[in-house]
């Protein structure tokens, strides 16, 4: 239970965190550790549903530093050791223990309602005031960069919170970008997902549940299969928005129609009940003009969310919040902070790396690499580190020169598979 001994929303704090998702919990935990006062305001009552259930190993470092690893370990979530991509009979199995970067080799597959609740409960247990069903309505920034935030409480009453700094971790709520007109459309094509949690008695213990499965269904259409430790499995189909129309009008018809259309999914799930009615989301990619401003910084999904294909959302949420909260702490201690260099540039480097992989997934280039007839283990290890979220390890050429390296190696694979021989491949390899 959330500790109710502290007031839900004090009238003045050093740092106000908007949103109690993983980005908000990490930010609040990090700021609280230093002794600064911090409060969290959250629009929903937790536990609340949010999609984004497959984590990446890179976020484990952040959870550990924020002291949030043990509260998650105690929940017994399904451990995740890798990701398996399947196209027809071809299988590409990435195991995080076989990666280039010296990092975490595992993480979790989590029902987010429970995961997010466990994180924010731990933050509140330490004494951070957390106000649920409390919505940010307006923010006045003052000349000295402090601010006054107007909130609506659960009973409809209006109150204000003064803060020296705001960390906006409001996810799809995009509070500060909306209030300040900073939203910018994504460069990625809009896509749609339909998904549900399924009973899964036919799960095969020998090749699951310790990783996620990604099935290629049609060009640009793929399916996630994310088993949880409670016997439930999350299944979602992602594709172009209009692709779904052929399977029916309602989301449930589309979801069930798609399950029936794929032999593996049909065999495993067609006669199983969904735990709740299938849901749908579309056109989720968005970004902003800036990741920071006088008196605020944006973290997590508010900065930019790309696409679910490589499960990068919670990793970016936690890593960006970890970095941003450290800089906020420095700033409030009177140190000079170069937000552009120390924050935006760093976050952008990771986002841009994943953007390449998202684009190269949808244009088929990565399929060439993943399903190469004779996989190169060195390349596999380097790509595996990207898929584990180690997109700041620039000693990995698949990070440092992401776009060029992926394209170059895919060309070599294609030449070899056409039988053009090693000489032709070597000329491309340079
Ligand atoms: P959130 O988890 O969205 O938390 C933000 C919080 O802010 C919310 O609780 C919200 O209620 C609150 N809030 C909003 N507005 C206000 C307001 N005005 N006042 C107060 N509070 C407010 N990511 C992965 O890592 N793995 C996946 O497998 C994955 N799959 C995905 C599948 C799909 C189809 C989509 C669309 C996304 C997926 N993601 C995945 C991305 C993932 O959902 C997000 O990246 C992640 O939830 C971001 O965390 P966050 O803390 O930034 O935001």
Question: Mind listing the pLDDT tens digit for each residue in 265-288?
Answer: 999 999 999 999 999 999 887 788
For the CA of 212, the nearest atom of ligand 1: 28
Q: Taking 80 as the threshold, does the pLDDT of residue 425 lie above it?
A: no
Residues 6+ apart with CB under 8 A from 149: 16, 18, 41, 136, 138, 139, 140, 160, 161, 162, 163, 166
> In this structure, are residues 90 and 366 in contact, taking their beta carbons and an 8 Å threshold?
no
Q: Which of 197, 164, 109, 178 is nearest to 334 (CA)?
A: 164
SS3 content of the chain, % helix, strand, coil (to 5): 40, 25, 35
Can you say whether the dihedral through the CA atoms of 406, 410, 413, 419 is positive or negative? Answer: negative
pLDDT reported for residue 426: 54
pLDDT, one tens digit per residue, over 338-347 is: 999 999 999 9
For the CA of 24, the nearest atom of ligand 1: 51
pLDDT reported for residue 1: 45
CA of 175 to the centre of ligand 1 (A): 13
Residues 6+ apart with CB under 8 A from 198: 232, 233, 234, 235, 269, 272, 273, 274, 275
For the CA of 135, the nearest atom of ligand 1: 19
Q: Determine which residue's CA is closest to atom 44 belonging to ligand 1.
A: 313
Q: Determine which residue's CA is closest to atom 2 belonging to ligand 1.
A: 21
> In this structure, are residues 328 and 31 in contact, taking their beta carbons and an 8 Å threshold?
yes
Residue in 19, 213, 222 to alter for ligand 1 test, most ligand atoms within 8 A of Cβ: 19
CA of 56 to the centre of ligand 1 (A): 15
CA of 52 to the centre of ligand 1 (A): 7
> In this structure, are residues 240 and 192 in contact, taking their beta carbons and an 8 Å threshold?
yes
Pocket lining for ligand 1, CB < 6 angstroms: 18-24, 41-44, 50-55, 135-136, 169-173, 175, 193, 281, 284, 300-301, 305, 308, 311, 313-315, 317
Euclidean distance between CA atoms 92 and 369, whole angstroms:
9
Q: Determine which residue's CA is closest to atom 41 belonging to ligand 1.
A: 313
| DSSP element (H, E) containing 151 | strand 147-152
Average the pLDDT over 401-418 and give the result.
84
21 band by pLDDT with thresholds 50, 70 and 90: very high
Of 27 and 1, the structure prediction assigns the larger pLDDT to 27
CA of 187 to the centre of ligand 1 (A): 20
Q: Quick one: how far is CA 424 from the chain centroid?
A: 39
pLDDT reported for residue 287: 84
Q: Taking 80 as the threshold, does the pLDDT of residue 418 lie above it?
A: no
CA of 307 to the centre of ligand 1 (A): 12
* Rounded alpha-carbon distances, angstroms, from residue 417 to 63, 369, 373: 43, 11, 8
pLDDT reported for residue 94: 96
CA of 289 to the centre of ligand 1 (A): 19
* Rounded alpha-carbon distances, angstroms, from residue 228 to 21, 112, 197, 200, 248: 19, 11, 10, 10, 28
For the CA of 19, the nearest atom of ligand 1: 7
375 band by pLDDT with thresholds 50, 70 and 90: confident
Q: Taking 90 as the threshold, does the pLDDT of residue 222 lie above it?
A: yes
pLDDT reported for residue 3: 42
Give the other-Cβ count within 10 Å of 86's Cβ: 19
CA of 420 to the centre of ligand 1 (A): 47
CA of 90 to the centre of ligand 1 (A): 33
| DSSP element (H, E) containing 362 | helix 345-362
Give the mean pLDDT of the chain.
93
Of 102 and 372, the structure prediction assigns the larger pLDDT to 102
pLDDT, one tens digit per residue, over 98-129 is: 999 999 999 999 999 999 999 999 999 999 99
Percent of the chain with pLDDT over 70: 95
For the CA of 301, the nearest atom of ligand 1: 52
Q: Determine which residue's CA is closest to atom 33 belonging to ligand 1.
A: 308
Of 44 and 426, the structure prediction assigns the larger pLDDT to 44
CA of 300 to the centre of ligand 1 (A): 8
The helix/strand/coil state of 82 is strand
Q: Taking 60 as the threshold, does the pLDDT of residue 87 lie above it?
A: yes
CA of 278 to the centre of ligand 1 (A): 18
Is the bond leading into 47 cis (omega within 30 degrees of zero)? yes
427 band by pLDDT with thresholds 50, 70 and 90: low
Residue in 183, 308, 354 to alter for ligand 1 test, most ligand atoms within 8 A of Cβ: 308
For the CA of 284, the nearest atom of ligand 1: 36
Residue in 221, 303, 304, 313 to alter for ligand 1 test, most ligand atoms within 8 A of Cβ: 313
pLDDT reported for residue 421: 55
């Amino acid at each position: 239970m959330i500790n109710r001994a502290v007031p839900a929303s004090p009238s003045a704090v050093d740092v106000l965190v908007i949103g109690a998702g993983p980005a908000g919990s990490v930010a609040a935990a990090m700021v609280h550790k230093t002794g600064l006062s911090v409060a969290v305001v959250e629009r929903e009552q937790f536990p609340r549903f949010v999609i984004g259930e497959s984590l990446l190993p890179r976020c484990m470092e952040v959870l550990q530093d924020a002291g949030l690893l043990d509260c998650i370990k105690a929940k017994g979530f399904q451990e995740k050791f890798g990701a398996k991509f399947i196209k027809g009979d071809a299988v590409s199995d990435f195991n995080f223990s076989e990666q280039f970067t010296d990092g975490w080799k595992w993480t979790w597959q989590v029902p987010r309602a429970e995961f997010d609740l466990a994180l924010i409960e731990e933050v509140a247990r330490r004494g951070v005031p957390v106000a649920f069903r409390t919505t940010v309505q307006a923010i006045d920034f003052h000349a000295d960069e402090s601010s006054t935030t107007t909130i609506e409480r659960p009973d409809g009453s209006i109150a204000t919170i003064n803060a020296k700094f705001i960390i906006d971790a409001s996810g799809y709520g995009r509070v500060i970008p909306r209030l300040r007109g900073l939203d910018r459309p994504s460069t990625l094509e809009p896509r749609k997902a339909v998904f549900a949690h399924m009973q899964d008695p036919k799960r095969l213990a020998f090749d699951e549940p310790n990783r996620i499965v990604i099935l290629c269904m049609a060009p640009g259409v793929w399916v996630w299969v994310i088993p949880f430790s409670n016997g439930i499995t999350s299944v979602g189909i992602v594709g172009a928005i209009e692709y779904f129309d052929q399977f029916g009008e309602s989301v449930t018809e589309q979801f069930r129609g798609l399950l029936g259309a794929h032999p593996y999914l049909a065999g495993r799930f067609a006669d199983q009940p969904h735990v709740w009615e299938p849901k749908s989301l579309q056109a989720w990619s968005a970004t902003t003009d800036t990741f920071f401003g006088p008196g605020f910084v944006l973290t997590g999904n508010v900065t930019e969310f790309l696409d679910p294909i490589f499960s990068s959302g919670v990793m970016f949420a936690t890593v960006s919040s970890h970095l941003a909260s450290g800089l906020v702490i420095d700033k409030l201690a009177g140190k000079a902070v170069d937000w552009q260099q120390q924050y935006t540039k760093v976050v952008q480097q990771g986002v841009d790396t994943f953007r390449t992989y998202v684009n190269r997934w949808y244009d088929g280039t990565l399929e060439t690499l993943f399903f190469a007839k004779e996989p190169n283990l060195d390349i596999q290890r380097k790509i595996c580190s990207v898929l584990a979220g180690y997109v700041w390890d620039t000693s990995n050429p698949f990070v440092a020169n992401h776009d060029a390296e992926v394209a170059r190696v895919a060309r070599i694979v294609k030449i070899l598979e056409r039988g053009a021989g090693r000489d032709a491949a070597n000329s491309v390899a340079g």
